[in-house]
Chains A and B, each alone.
Chain A
């Protein structure tokens, strides 16, 4: 009755897709068929390689956002952290090298996350307000760091986002690795299970003798780290780091989580769903771009999709 093997990876039952996941997969298939039909350049290796590069930025931010949403919170500062990670990485690469620059960028993201998490957990402030404030503060800091775009001279600077292994970019591989680690964290570690449980019933978790504050701080910290990493990979792909990078990224990340079945306020959502959400959103963007649809129409399509996803989720609950 009970599986007796000790696994890090998902068991068959844990991989069983929810109806929403299956719906998303169907939507993805429909999108691919429609894409092939409407845009002739869609089904090319070049386009897919592009697509897989493009979704990395939102993919990493969405994973962080998911962890925060699972605790019942929200993080609006992710877009600013993307910019912070991006400009730090680009600005420091020439002096200290790629590896150390990435580490500094991620540490900066972690620092913002710790501030967010501490204000929310320790001082009981509302996540929406706290992260709205840090969104502004961090964006300001980014502009203090550099008002003009940074273009590093380092030869390897563009590797992270652009170099390709087989069909996928290095950035994509990093993103997939983060998703795998994210899954293990949420399903196989005490801290991860506590994260999921806090969003369901914080008081029950506290009374079970778990440090709820630490759990919440950890969630925002991970979100900050992932957002900063996303920024580093993004500027590597673009080859230029602008201080206005990542504006409104929080919206796409929340959208991907919600489309993937995450419940704002906690109580549902997972890595697989979020991954499918990121893929769906990326595919729609890509397709509409290829079809030459203006960006404001794209916003309408995305908005409608979010409403539809939430509607389906609420129906299913009843």
Chain B
């Protein structure tokens, strides 16, 4: 840590006076302390990279700088004067612009309308849109940042993901920004486009723009950034000049935490078991490519990767929510092609989705209804629900998972996050499937519920279920899995047996800093 601290001091000494400087910034969301006493600055003509694991606090910091949320405590200085950034509009007036990780364009409007959104060139005192001028200006703006060749008359919805990203970047640069924040800007870009993006960044830099660059890709960070700040658990771990650091040091700073021992003891698994799920060269367009692996009976296989690495997309294909473009899925040696979640479920594959409130639960319905939803074939006869059977089954699962409250008629909206997640899980446990895919099974769940969920996962695995565990939480992946698969940019880049898995080597694989 002392090395990092002295590095920070060195940076401070050489830097220009910062355009934006923040100190003592803290932010709490309900039970989570998202940021703790953070100091951060953005100097003119400097590319400042922000790195950290998912949930380290990067996006919260960006939201504070862009006025989307307010810090609980702390001070923000702009050009040396204290300033409150109370809204996104206020941030824009200060010249703070963002290229969001997820494209935020209006799909059915044209490229030029999106670039000029809210400031279309007009005639006759704002009564008439000057389309010719709008298109010309949009074309010029694209050229100025080095990306011509997009038809500005086309609706954004007809563009590729990479092209949309370029439009988004153009939009942010059309009024010369003082600070440009780029959140994973290269994720959807081709190699060539990425080169031009870096040219643009260098050009902006020479125009004294301050750039805050967020990326999971450490190669890229070291290539383009002047300085690197590492966030972990809402705290700044260190800031150092990019020239004097390397990937190893950054990864160490990103993960440097002890693995909590909240994982249940594992029983030695009996020798080689039959393969239940097997993927052979599964690909899905640009989302992921040539993914092959197997999961055996009773095995828990972890799937780790940074956001955008394609792990959720693989799971969705297995579960029939999306269709693969090539490759095959085998279940117990038989090829299956699930066209819908319904098909997958019939074949014996279930998936606990990442976001329970978005696509896992019907919030206004009761615990009983939600758990029954995937299990009507077992609880009904002649098209009528057998109430006694249904309630007995649900009640048993509620007791087994320790769901509170025990009253199964309560709407799940009124349950805590942990209990909601248990309800979503109970739905699939009741369905008696062969393969259970868990996508971030303990996201937003408190420690006690986490432990309960871990125990249940272990138990159903011991009973013979094949489990694919997707998680961004390293301790969870390492603590729960028999083997860990790592994905990066849509490809499987490694398989690590449990005994060799460390946070450091997994992050290194996922961020591409190995080999």
Chain A residues proximal to chain B, CB less than 8 Å: 1-8, 13, 184, 188-191, 193-194, 196-197, 200-201, 203-211, 267-268
A317 to chain B, nearest CB (A): 10
Bound Cα distance A170, B165 (Å): 66
Residues of A contacting B373 with CB < 8 Å?
A: 193-194, 197, 204-205, 208, 210
- Of B168-176, B388-396, B477-485, which stretch is located at the interface? B388-396
Q: Is B321 an interface residue (CB 8 A)?
A: yes
- 27 sampled A-B residue pairs with Cβ under 8 A: A2-B408, A4-B388, A6-B387, A7-B387, A8-B384, A188-B384, A188-B385, A189-B383, A190-B379, A190-B385, A191-B383, A193-B369, A193-B385, A194-B373, A197-B365, A200-B363, A200-B365, A201-B361, A203-B358, A204-B359, A204-B362, A206-B341, A206-B342, A209-B342, A209-B344, A209-B346, A211-B342
Contact partner of B387 (CB less than 8 A), chosen from A188, A210, A268, is A188
Q: Is B372 an interface residue (CB 8 A)?
A: yes
Contact partner of B388 (CB less than 8 A), chosen from A5, A13, A267, is A5
Contact with A along B424-465 (1 / 0, CB 8 A): 000100010000000000000000000000000000000000
Q: Is B364 an interface residue (CB 8 A)?
A: yes
Top 7 closest A-B pairs, CB basis?
A190-B376, A209-B345, A200-B362, A203-B359, A208-B374, A208-B373, A6-B388
Residues of B contacting A2 with CB < 8 Å?
A: 391-392, 395, 408
Interface size on B, residues (CB 8 A): 39
A127 to chain B, nearest CB (A): 19
Bound Cα distance A205, B319 (Å): 14
B384–A193 contact, CB under 8 A? no
Q: Is B166 an interface residue (CB 8 A)?
A: no
Residues of B contacting A6 with CB < 8 Å?
A: 386-388
Q: Which residue of B lies closest to A196 (CB)?
A: B365
Q: Which residue of A lies closest to B392 (CB)?
A: A2
A10 to chain B, nearest CB (A): 11
Bound Cα distance A194, B375 (Å): 11
Q: Is B353 an interface residue (CB 8 A)?
A: yes
Q: Is B475 an interface residue (CB 8 A)?
A: no
In the complex, given contacts A201-B361, A204-B373, what are 9 additional A-B residue pairs having Cβ atoms less than 8 angstroms apart? A193-B369, A205-B362, A206-B340, A207-B353, A207-B359, A208-B341, A208-B373, A209-B345, A268-B364
Known: A6-B387, A268-B364. A13 touches B342 (CB 8 A): no
Bound Cα distance A163, B372 (Å): 44
Residues of A contacting B361 with CB < 8 Å?
A: 201, 204
A201 to chain B, nearest CB (A): 5
Residues of B contacting A207 with CB < 8 Å?
A: 319, 321, 341, 351, 353, 359-360
Bound Cα distance A193, B362 (Å): 11
Bound Cα distance A289, B235 (Å): 72
Residues of A contacting B391 with CB < 8 Å?
A: 2-3
A197–B362 contact, CB under 8 A? yes
Bound Cα distance A190, B384 (Å): 7
Bound Cα distance A6, B392 (Å): 11
Residues of A contacting B379 with CB < 8 Å?
A: 190
A209–B341 contact, CB under 8 A? yes
Bound Cα distance A208, B353 (Å): 10
Bound Cα distance A67, B365 (Å): 16
B429 to chain A, nearest CB (A): 13
Q: Is B157 an interface residue (CB 8 A)?
A: no
Contact with A along B106-135 (1 / 0, CB 8 A): 000000000000000000000000000000
Residues of A contacting B16 with CB < 8 Å?
A: none
Bound Cα distance A200, B359 (Å): 10
Contact partner of A189 (CB less than 8 A), chosen from B362, B380, B388, is B380
Bound Cα distance A267, B358 (Å): 14
Residues of B contacting A209 with CB < 8 Å?
A: 341-342, 344-346, 374, 431
Q: Which residue of B lies closest to A268 (CB)?
A: B364
Q: Which residues of chain B from 404 to 427 have any CB-CB distance to chain A below 8 Å in the complex? A: 406, 408-409, 427
B374–A190 contact, CB under 8 A? no
Residues of B contacting A184 with CB < 8 Å?
A: 384
A201–B363 contact, CB under 8 A? yes
Known: A200-B365, A207-B341. A190 touches B383 (CB 8 A): yes
Bound Cα distance A77, B380 (Å): 33
Bound Cα distance A147, B341 (Å): 50
Residues of B contacting A189 with CB < 8 Å?
A: 380, 383-385
Residues of A contacting B360 with CB < 8 Å?
A: 204, 207
Q: Which residue of A lies closest to B375 (CB)?
A: A208
Q: Which residue of B lies closest to A8 (CB)?
A: B384
Bound Cα distance A281, B427 (Å): 41
Residues of A contacting B384 with CB < 8 Å?
A: 8, 184, 188-189
Bound Cα distance A189, B342 (Å): 19
